[in-house]
Structure 1
Amino acid sequence: MKFSLLISCAPQLSEMHHNALSFAQAVLDSGHTLESVFFWGEGTSTALKTSVSPRDEHDAATLWRDIAALGGTDLNVCIASATRRGILNKSEAKRHDLPDATVASGFNIVGLGALIEAELSADRVVRF
């Protein structure tokens, strides 16, 4: 079965984000496919390159990159939500006269079309 996830909760503010990570790992452990994870709204803060987790907590971006590497999963970030939170790729940073991108490695800043494509190709879409 092919799954896609929609993450709209911030990793540092919600147990739901941890549940999403656990669900994604369970999907892969069960032999299913995790095609796409789409970060939207507050969930886009996962992709902020300058975010630092306390030493006693796991770094959500690293955990998502690990899941993506295991499953060949796209980690997509909504461009509108990301821009509002200062998460920019190189072209957006240049457009806003900023010196560097702020999106963490492994994450792709995309439009809503990527979410629609993920929903159409997946057997199940799960929102956290």
Structure 2
Amino acid sequence: RYLTSAHLSLDICLFIITCRDLADVIVMLYKRGVKVRVISDREQINAMGSQIDRLQAEGIQVRFGQQSYLMHHKFAVVDRWLLVNGSFNWTRQAIAGNNENVFVTENDQIVTSYREEFNRLWSDFDPKKKNA
């Protein structure tokens, strides 16, 4: 519900996405004209069920870091004012079977911090940069 409320933009930073239902929502939003950007862990591109290739095939911008550490963030910023953050990876197991947490807020200070972190990572992982 929170993701589908996006009208302008959806910035997603996550370790992995294998849940087809969530990928369907992302693709639907993109086709509806929402600007979608995704940052994910490079090591998870070829994981079983990964939806990253599908998102890229649809034209959604996806960036990855080259660093040796894991991209362990799991958050989405919806229309620059709403934050969805939690412990879960975007997998069916996390949604239906794990003990997970999700924090949703419109608190401007918190959302701004996450929006700035996303933009910093997006810039750092620009494939045109030598250190990306």
Say whether the fold is shared (TM-score over 0.5): no
TM-score by structure 1 length? 0.39
Q: RCO (CA 8 Å, sep 6+): is it higher in 1 or 2?
A: 1
TM-score using structure 2 length: 0.38
